[in-house]
Structure formats: C-alpha cells, structure tokens
Amino acid sequence: MKKLTGIIISLLLLFAMQAQAKLVIEITEGVEGALPIAVVPFQWMGDAATPPPEAVGKIIAADLQRSGYFKTLEEVQMLNRPSAMTEVDFRDWRALRQDNLVIGRIEPNGPGGYKVRFQLFDVYQGEQLIGYSFSTTAKDLRAIAHHIADLVYETLTGTKGAFATRIAYVVSQGSAKSPTISLRIADSDGHGAQTIVSSKEPLMSPAWSPDGRKLAYVSFENGRPSIWIQEVFTGKREKITSFKGINGAPAWSPDGHYLAMALSKDGNPDIYIMDLSRRKLRRLVRHWAIETEPSWSPDGRTLLFTSDRGGSPQIYQVSVTGGDVKRLTFENKYNARASYAPDGKSITLITRVGSQYRIGVLDLGTGSITVLTDGRLDESPSFAPNGSMIIYATRYKGKGVLAAVSTDGRVKQRLALQSGDVRDPVWSPYYK
Amino acid sequence: MKKTMVLLLTLVFSMALLSGCTSTGGPQDGEGAGTQVGDGSGAGGADTSAAGGGGAWTGSPLEDPNSPLYEKVVYFDFDTAEIRPEYVPTLRAHAEYLVNSPAARLVIEGHCDERGSREYNIALGERRAEAVKRFLEAEGVSPVQLETVSYGEERPVDLGHNEEAWAKNRRGELVYQ
C-alpha cells in the first residue's frame, strides 16, 4: 500500500474549473496492478469555433481512473491521437505499455445534436473489443460519456459499471448557528449537483426508489419530523407520514410498492411497512427497545434493522411477514445502519472499533465483519448498484465529506465538497 | 394554533391510551392513513414565541437568572437516557411551575452527540426527551402540557468533534411555547 503514494498523487482528478458547489473526487488509495488504459481525447469533427461543451474522452478517463481498477495514460504521454481504427498503430501503444485503448469521434448531428462514436481495443491482440455510436444532445453528453465508461468497465472487468448513476446527499451550509440544509443529487462523479429541497430545519435519510425516479426523505420543516416522497425530475412531492414522535428511516421495497420506516407513534420506535398505494400501515417489529433503520433484502423477503434490545445497537433480521427476529452481528459493541449488497450476500454497516466508528462489511455466509475504513466518525454506508463500492460519510479537515471504498477495501476515494458539511449519502440504483 | 395543538395533543394522548383506535376506526394493524391534511403546518410549530405561558406573571421566573427555572438544559451520559442526579432539582422546579401554570406548554427536545448512526441517534434523542417527560409526569405535570421531539445529532450546540463538545450536545432542552 505504501508504494501507492506516487500513484495517489497522480490520481488527483481536478474538476476545479467550474466554481459551482460540486464534488471534487480524489483517489486516496489505488489498486496495485491497475489495468493500464489509454483514452484518447475524442476528436470533434465539426466547426472548430463551436466545439461540444463536454470533453467526453476526459470524462471517460476520469471514471475509469476513479474506479481504481484502471490506470489511465496521461495525454501528454500519447505519441499520437487517433480517432479512427485506420489511424491506430498498435505498436505505439504497446511501446507505452498500454493494455487497452479507447478512441472516439464527435460529429455534429442536426441543430444542437451530436453523434458520438467510440471503439475499445485490445492493444496486444490488435483488435476491437467493442464499438458503438450514440446520438445525443449537449445536455446528455456527460451521461453518454458515463455510459461509455460503463461499457468499457464491463467489457474489461466483467462487472456492470455504475458510472451512469447518481448519488443523493445532504449538505449543511451557511452560519453555524443557522445553517441551510439541502438535499442534493449529483452524478456519481459529483458533477451536475442540484438541490432538490432545502430548509432551515434538518433534512435527513434520503432513500431512492428502485427506479431511481423518487426520493423519500425526512424533513423537520414543520418543526417535527415527517417523511416525504419527492419526484426527482419534476420536484413534485407529498408528505407521507407525520405521526406523533419519530417519522424516520424510510426504505423502499425492491418492487417500489412499500416503504419501510421507523415510527414511534405507539410509544417507542418500531419498524412499520406502508403499502404506498393504499397508504395502509402495518407494524412489522414491536419491542420496547429502539428499532430503526429498516433495509430490504434484494429479493424483498427479509429486512434488516438496528435494535438495542440486547443492550447496545446491533443488526437484526426479520421476514417481511414478521415473526422471529434473528440477530446478525455479534462482533463489536456498536453496529448500526445496515443495508444489503445488491447480491444479498453481505451487508454494509457502521461498526465501532474501539472508540472509532467505521464502515464494515458483514459476510452473511461467515458472519464476520471486515472493517473497510479508518476514520473516526464514518457513517451512512450505501452500496453502488453494481456492488463494487460503498459510499459513506466521513470527516476530513474538520468537515463532513463523502468518500467511497471498494467492497474489498483496496480502493478509496474522497468526494470533497468545496463548501459546507456533506453527509448522509446514498447511491442510486440503475435507472429503469 | 395553540388550541389546535392542545386538541391534537389530547387526541394523541387518548390515542396512546386506547392504543390504536383512530378516527378511521380500523383494526390495530391497518390504522392511520399517512398523509395528514391541515395539521397546522403553516405556522411552524417549533418557533418559540415571545408571549409567555401563564399570563399571570410579569417578568416570568423562566427568564429570571436567580430562579431554578432559568436552567432549561439537562445533559446525558454517552448512549444513555438516564437523568443525572444533579438535574433533579432543576426538573422538580419546572414540574412545580408547570403544575401551577396549567396553561403552560413545554416541548422537550432530545439531542445527541454526532457519533454513530443518525437515525439511531434520533431514536436515542427521543428516549432522552421521553425520560424528561416521564420525570415531569411523575412529579404531577399533566401530559397535556408536555410534548417531545428528537433532533438526534442534527442540531449540535457545539460543533467540535471531541469529548467536550459531545458532552454539551447530549442534552434535553426545555422549550416553553
């Protein structure tokens, strides 16, 4: 790991040109033996005076670099910049010790339109692995770039990419006494951050609907917590619960029909499930202790939750139909905020190691927890939809920042907002 | 606003007593349509107003630095909701005040330090607020006068990240309406 310092420095991704409130991503640890890949800047075939608004090749390279599984070649080291296969001399790229090569072109395609084509090559075999062409507009150029990065990632790693996804998170900005709290969404690389709701009162616990089109969240805007559901693209929103006491920890069922939540209306926080179409509520877990933070298994059959019924917060599992409750965590005195990996074989959680709160993964097969992070106040872990990484909140230089770690703990990246305190991240599902 | 609050509180309290009988009259498990209409959201229930509670006082003892009622914060140990003995006199004074001022209304806020999970801290903060509420009720305060809300770790008074800051943030606040 120490060897990596050199890599780490070269892996700083500088998106600092746009002064917007957005996330800057920095790889703090990379993987030894990352695959060398060259992504040639895509050539603009139209009028040189009106180039496309996004550097598609750069976005792709940044995505691949950020995953930690690739080491991208710096532009200055490229001997030439082909944009079609006829211009590629594989010997050049072999000399640069590149395993793979991505080239592409952007052509004008009607008013405001673009055609983006790209090819991925195996440098040593000298052959094309994939090649596609897309029609798009200026607004969606970044999305197309992320999509291409996903295709490259999947072709070369065998795992579906998660670059064309989003994250939701909460930012606190302004004076310490009276901050403004905003719920934001951004692309998985931190670009295109948009505030979807803001308030002088706390906002917390965003949760994506399984189609990625809605967010449930908790807002204290009326002086008491309520659960809201908001359509991400229209901004239309609706208050779902505002019972006496806690209205918290919303979690969508995988089919999107139900919302699990923590309510204390009947005395102390228990787990409830609401049928969203009929607005009917069912208590799933009833106990005198604290029960909160429900999370559904990918097959929708079981839920995890946090309970301190054993004297300290630990993770428990229950069938969606109720019944017996099974304790899952026995290591460490504090385990909370658990959620399943997309394959359902492990869960991520907050676990206390000594006096430090860190992100761990519990292997449901072996029952043991692997600690992935080394922070002091790490919280709110959430899996990327391909299961490759976990996003979480941590502290860096006195501020709340977002970070991500690969599920095996080998790749770490920090997403640092330029101002404000960032927290409560959650990774979107794939868009449907 | 105040009237609807009292009504709401009474309703909520009787609901708690009857355990599950709602206006829809459904069975225990099928209760409670989620979206509430006209719950007085406009005014913002957490805003404290300058007008005092009882009305009989000129210069409320709540604002008198020499009164035990001036103290309106109690602190908690890590991960517990137990009321520490040093706060018993303060809470007794507030209980007495509330008993003698039946029109006074108190919101008890529960707060936590920043460590661990945010939603678990919301639950822990509620447990703290409820512990204060139960204490006051045991001292004879009518439940109608009391309400709790938990902010978990969302509203720290000290933004530091050390034991000293955390100790200040693990608190119950008495907010007269």
Q: How do residues A356-368 score in pLDDT, each as one tens digit?
A: 999 999 999 999 9
In chain B, which residue's Cα lies nearest the Cα of A279? B33
In this structure, are strands B171-176 and B73-75 parallel, antiparallel, or unpaired?
Answer: antiparallel
Q: Are A273 and A290 in contact (CB under 8 A)?
A: no
User: Would the pLDDT of A49 be above 70?
Assistant: yes
Total-model pTM: 0.83
Name the pLDDT band for B45 (thresholds 50, 70, 90): very low
- Chain B contact probe: residue of A264, A316, A356 with most B CBs at under 10 A: A264
Length of chain B: 177
Same domain for B62 and B12: no
Q: Which CATH architecture has domain A166-427?
A: 6 Propeller (2.120)
Length of chain A: 432
Q: Are A140 and A153 in contact (CB under 8 A)?
A: no
Does B84 map to a domain? Answer: yes
CA-wise closest residue to A263 among A303, A228, A292, A289: A292
Q: For residues A432 and A210, what is the distance between their CA atoms, to the nearest angstrom?
A: 8
pLDDT digits (tens, 9 = 90+) for A91-110: 999 999 999 999 999 999 99
Same domain for B129 and B99: yes
Same domain for B25 and B52: no
Note whether A279 contacts B35, CB cutoff 8 Å.
yes
In chain B, which residue's Cα lies nearest the Cα of A203? B154
Note whether B116 contacts A398, CB cutoff 8 Å.
no
Q: Chain A to chain B, count of Cβ pairs less than 8 Å apart? A: 130
User: Reduced to 3 states, what is the DSSP secondary structure of residue A192?
Assistant: coil
> What are the domain boundaries of chain A?
33-157, 166-427
Same domain for B65 and B14: no
Same domain for B158 and B90: yes
Note whether A350 contacts B116, CB cutoff 8 Å.
yes
Domain holding B129, by residue range, is 48-176
Please name the member of B33, B46, B116 whose beta carbon is closest to the beta carbon of A336. B116
Does B38 map to a domain? Answer: no
pLDDT digits (tens, 9 = 90+) for A52-98: 999 999 999 988 987 878 999 999 999 999 999 999 999 999 999 99
Same domain for B152 and B106: yes
Structure tokens at A101: 């090569």
Q: What is the pLDDT of residue B58?
A: 62
> What number is the ipTM of this complex?
0.88
Q: What is the pLDDT of residue A28?
A: 63
Does B39 map to a domain? Answer: no
Q: What is the total count of domains within chain B?
A: 2
Same domain for B73 and B15: no
CATH number at residue B75: 3.30.1330.60
Same domain for B53 and B24: no
Chain B residues with CB-CB distance to A238 below 8 A? 35
CATH 3.40.50.10070 at A33-157, yes or no: yes
User: Would the pLDDT of B28 be above 50?
Assistant: no
pLDDT digits (tens, 9 = 90+) for A106-137: 999 998 899 999 999 999 999 999 999 999 99
In chain A, which residue's Cα lies nearest the Cα of B128? A268
Structure tokens at A48: 């040189």
Same domain for B1 and B71: no
Distance in Å, alpha carbon of A408 to nearest chain B alpha carbon: 22
Chain B residues with CB-CB distance to A350 below 8 A? 116-117
Same domain for B85 and B18: no
Q: Are A186 and A166 in contact (CB under 8 A)?
A: yes
Diameter of chain A measured on Cα atoms = 72
- Chain A contact probe: residue of B10, B118, B158 with most A CBs at under 10 A: B118
Same domain for B128 and B64: yes
Q: Are A359 and A341 in contact (CB under 8 A)?
A: no
Note whether A246 contacts B123, CB cutoff 8 Å.
yes
Q: For residues A217 and B154, what is the distance between their CA atoms, to the nearest angstrom?
A: 14
Distance in Å, alpha carbon of B46 to nearest chain A alpha carbon: 5
For residue A280, the one-letter residue type is K
Same domain for B52 and B12: no
